[in-house]
Amino acid sequence: MYGLFDLVSLEGIYPLLSPGVGIPLERRVKSVLPVGVIARQAPSSSTKDWSASLLQEVVDCLQGICLNRRIGLGPICQERVLVDLISACGELAFGPNVEDGVTTAKYNNIFRILVGDQLSAKEYFSQLAPQLFDLLDGQAGPEMAKAAAFIIAGILGQKAHGAPGKAGWNAFAEPLLVCIDPDPFVPDPAQEQCGSTLIPESDLKLALGRLTTLTTSHPNPGLSKRLIGRVLFPLWGLLCFAKKTKKTVWYEQTAAIIRLYLKLSADVNEIVKLAEEMLFDGRIARNNREGWAYGPGGEGGIEIRRRPKVNPQITNMIEQIGEIDTLVGEFLLILGSGVVDGSIGEVFLGISRRLLRQSRSPDSTLHRLVVGGDSDPRDSLQVLIDAKIAQGLLEKFRERLAEKPTQMFELINQLLEEFVERCKAQRRLLKELKEPSLTGIGHISQFPTTIGGAITEPTAEGESIDIVSTGLSLLTAILTSLNSDIGEQDKIILSSIQTSLEFISSPFEADIPIALSGTATNLLSLLSIHSSLLPPASLASSSSPNPLVEDKKTYALALSYLSETLVPVRAQGLHLLETLIQSRSPLLDVQATITLLLSLLQDEDEFIYLNAIKTLTTLADRHGNTITKALVERYVDRGEDLGLDQRLKLGEALLRIVQRTGAALIEETARVLGDGVVEVAGRRGRRLREMEERQRQARKEEARNKEAEEAWGGEVPQIGEDEETERLVNITKGWESESGEEDTRVRTSALSIYGTAVETNAAGLGSLSISTAIDLVVSILTIENQDERAILRRAAAMLILSVLKALDEAEENGRNLGFGFAGESLAEVITVLKYVQATDNDGLVREYAETIVRELGVWRAKSLLRAPTSVDVSSSLANLSRGQLVGLPLRNSEGGTRPSIEEIE
């Protein structure tokens, strides 16, 4: 077989390669070739017309042999001719003499066929549009629909073709828009009939689908604004009609388009204008334009019908009043899901200021609905709508609105001033009406409130009272969450608000509701508390930043970032949180922060959980005891609530914190840590839930294998798997104990954590804990000698080394750790290590054992001789992997005693 492969390579590949490509023949391994076959490089000049096709045929043949696992020649092919095959592919791809199959001239010929020179843009787009629309409708699949959307978006994005009135716009945008908003059409006298169909249901549904695909497949804010912005009001009317008639599919599709527009393209002015057109239910006939309205479609959907030329506003007034609450609720729902948080406050300010302007106008309809005359009935309804929207925004988005207190203070001040001024004006008017005078007679027509011909005292209008009440609730929320230090401008506004509140809370103002008066009284108390905490009014005090206020903003921003889905944004949230921890902000709640960081440890993205570990380590500088206890409790996981990966991440966090804690690892913290990790590392842990889950998975795997064997007609052959691969797979499976014990990887992690703790502060752990750990290590090295437990034995050996390093360092520094290796304990450890060195089936474990035995001898001799110079215990472990474990040092340092010689075995 080797000879055949060499023959194919030397005769079919090498002669066709460019000079310098491929391994030189004198360095290539060759079999004994048949008589007459001479290995040769490619000639300097050769004909490539036939060689390129021949080389391609050879490559295809060899590639099929390499990738075909059934014939079993793949390993031989890869071993013998893989390099030659790669060289041949390189020759075909980049060879200077291989002619490129596609040239620019060929492309130009194709383009001339597709687009003739004499074809105008209008004719070209008119022929292209139906084809792209078919693809956009999904007739060729969703991927082709996205491709068509990108092409159409590219055409509409060109100023020469995509501007309104241009050929591209007329071919692609106008057909969509006129189906949704047919207002520009002049009515056809032959078809002008009230109630007749103007846009059929099928056309309207098709236009909505195309608009959805076009805007969602190509999320371009400019394109969305140009397309959706032109039909925003008709889309809103369609949404409300679908909601009213319970057309769920139509409602969801239209709502998705409006949300996308608000999220990508809309500004505050457009949102406020949408609120102004909330009653939109179609176009009104005017001049030569035809009116239209929505109606039930012939297929159970929605269609657009012609509307009579009479003004429908008066006839629909009562019906529209009943629908206002539903419309406002729908507007707030769309606003909450489609607009970014920062724009909510600006929308509220825009609507509230418009409401204030209406209330200041001489013909204000804030406290009455006027029907008839020259006024537009919708003006009266619009005041009511604005009031309800403002009230709904205050109730639903109170926390978001409170983020900008200065603007809210200004608006609330305007609301209160308008309300107080209106109450005073009504009181003056009542006084003039009760006193006979020419002025009072002139004001009778301005005061229509009569009961049986008698003049009654006016009361503040209901909508105005609701707005003021909700505004006072917002002011309460702001003041309760406001820091004591506010700016000079805010203090001036609050002083004006206080004056209005004193008027509203006055017990002599009988025309003001008691609930409103009580709220104003409570707010006066809050203002007095804040005013007592305020520093003296000065420019310096108002301009100096308050750290607590900044921390509050940073904390809120961090929490908002952590709730995002994008990994970089969440990582930035962790960075902001770590900044607050480093600055020791009093705003942070330790338990809440620990809970938040522990939840982030379970994140699958390593960029997040590694940063969470880093932040936990930073927090441990001040609250090491609390964090260590929380981590150990979750790491032990007695309730079996966490998986393997989650516990290993907790172990990594514990390791980092132990390293950072250093000498502070003492007393209760050290005891909790030592007991927890020794419990996990021991063999007594039982994970019954995990065992049941493994058994279920094993049964499923067995059932799948049985089905495969039945389908195969016998045992399924394992192609391409050798004994070494099978052994590694068995080792990996062996880490998951089937008897319900702890996972070997978690136990190894626990031993590593304990070793780090020993090297960090062995005295803090105490002799009892370390003695227990050494006993555990000895039992692991002697009993658990299976192949799959090799990583556990390595960690156990490294734990002994960690103890030895801690003892050596303590003796060098003249410290007494209260324990040590001596007598029977030392002899037992050395005996076990020598046994492991001679019998263990893992080479790395044997190497560890040999090194530790040698270093134990060095340490023992050094301890007996009291050598003044230090012997680096880990000097001969330079080539070993980093590890840490625990031992048993016991040596009292007594200065001045003479060295003694002791016979040792």
Summarised one tens digit per residue, pLDDT across range 303-328 is 988 876 655 454 456 666 667 888 88
Contacts of 80 (CB under 8 A, 6+ apart): 2, 5, 6, 9, 29
Question: Which pLDDT does position 194 carry in this prediction?
Answer: 57
Position 380, amino acid: S
Question: Distance from CA of residue 889 to its chain's centroid?
Answer: 50
Q: Which of 250-259, 365-374, 463-472, 645-654 has the lowest mean pLDDT?
A: 365-374
**φ/ψ (deg, to 5) at 777:** -60, -45
Q: In the predicted model, what is the mean pLDDT of the chain?
A: 74
**Per-residue pLDDT at 452 exceeds 60:** no
Higher pLDDT, 537 or 175: 175
Burial 675-710 (b: 16+ CB within 10 A, else e): ebbbbbbbeebebeebbeebeeeeeeeeeeeeeeee
For residue 462, which of 384, 393, 355, 521 has the smallest C-alpha distance?
Answer: 384
pLDDT (tens digit per residue) in 518-557: 678 767 766 765 554 344 443 333 344 556 677 777 888 8
Average pLDDT over residues 405-415: 79
pLDDT beyond 80 at 819 = no
148 pLDDT above the threshold of 80: yes
pLDDT-derived band at 266, boundaries 50, 70, 90: low
Identity of the residue numbered 349: L
Tokens of 307: 């509307």
CB-based contacts of 138, cutoff 8 Å, min separation 6: 144, 145, 213
Which carries the bigger pLDDT value, residue 155 or residue 729? Answer: 155
Give the SS3 label for residue 185: coil
Confidence band for 464, pLDDT divided at 50, 70 and 90: low
Q: Which residue has the higher pLDDT, 426 or 247?
A: 247
Domain coordinates in residue numbering, the chain? 2-94, 121-352, 402-535, 545-664, 666-698+735-893
**Alpha-carbon span 274 to 338, nearest angstrom:** 14
At 250, the pLDDT band (50, 70, 90 cuts) reads very high
The band of 449, judged by pLDDT with boundaries at 50, 70 and 90, is very low
What is the rounded distance in angstroms from the CA atom of residue 849 to the CA atom of residue 794? 9
Q: How far apart are CA 274 and CA 271, in angstroms?
A: 5
Greatest mean pLDDT among 535-549, 594-608, 789-803: 789-803
Cross-strand pairs, 650:
none
DSSP state of 787: G
Confidence (pLDDT) at 310: 56
pLDDT in the model for residue 695 = 65
How confident is the model over 650-661, as pLDDT tens digits?
889 888 888 888
Residues 485 and 505: their CA atoms lie apart, in Å, by 26
Burial 605-640 (b: 16+ CB within 10 A, else e): eeebbbbbbbbbbbbbeebbbebbbbbbebbbbeee
- Please tell me whether residue 454 adopts helix, strand or coil conformation: strand
Mean pLDDT confidence for 750-769? 87
Are 691 and 738 contacting, i.e. CB atoms less than 8 angstroms apart? yes
| Cβ atoms of 595 and 558 closer than 8 Å | no
Read off the pLDDT of residues 72-81 as tens digits, 9 standing for 90 and up.
787 888 778 8
| Per-residue 3-state assignment (H helix, E strand, C coil) for 550-571 | HHHHHHHHHHHHHCCCCHHHHH
At 543 the pLDDT is 42
308 vs 59, which has greater pLDDT? 59
Q: Which helix (H) or strand (E) holds 296?
A: strand 292-296
What pLDDT shows up at residue 491? 76
- Is residue 499 a contact partner of residue 419, using CB atoms and an 8 Å limit? no
Q: What's the CA gap between 601 and 102, in Å, rounded?
A: 53
545-664: which CATH number, 1.25.40, 3.40.1350, 1.20.81, 1.20.120?
1.25.40
- Comparing 406 with 503, which gets the higher pLDDT? 503
Q: How far apart are CA 262 and CA 232, in angstroms?
A: 10
Can you tell me whether residue 504 is helix, strand or coil? helix
User: Considering the entire predicted model, what is its pTM?
Assistant: 0.46
Cβ atoms of 511 and 459 within 8 Å: the answer is: yes
The top-scoring range by mean pLDDT among 307-321, 461-475, 586-600, 685-699 is 586-600
The pLDDT of residue 157 is 85
Specify the long-range contacts of residues 352-355, CB closer than 8 Å, at least 24 apart.
352/386, 352/390, 352/411, 352/414, 352/415, 353/411, 353/414, 354/272, 354/276, 354/386, 355/383, 355/386, 355/387, 355/390, 355/467
**CA–CA gap between residue 566 and residue 584 (Å, rounded):** 28
pLDDT value of residue 41: 56
Q: Are 25 and 14 in contact (CB under 8 A)?
A: yes
What value does the mean pLDDT take over residues 483-492?
68
CA 151, 157, 163, 166 dihedral sign is negative
Count of beta carbons in the 10 Å neighbourhood of residue 461:
17
What's the rounded mean pLDDT across residues 110-139? Answer: 76
Element (H, E) at 58: helix 48-67
Q: Residue 453 region, left (φ>0) first, then alpha (ψ -120 to 50), else beta? A: left
Q: In this structure, are residues 687 and 742 in contact, taking their beta carbons and an 8 Å threshold?
A: yes
DSSP string computed for 238-271: HHHHHHHTT-HHHHHHHHHHHHHHHHHT--HHHH
Kindly indicate the confidence band of residue 206, based on its pLDDT and cuts at 50, 70 and 90.
very high
- Pick from 91-100, 308-317, 729-738, 803-812: least confident: 308-317
SS3 60: helix
The position carrying tokens 């189906």 is 179
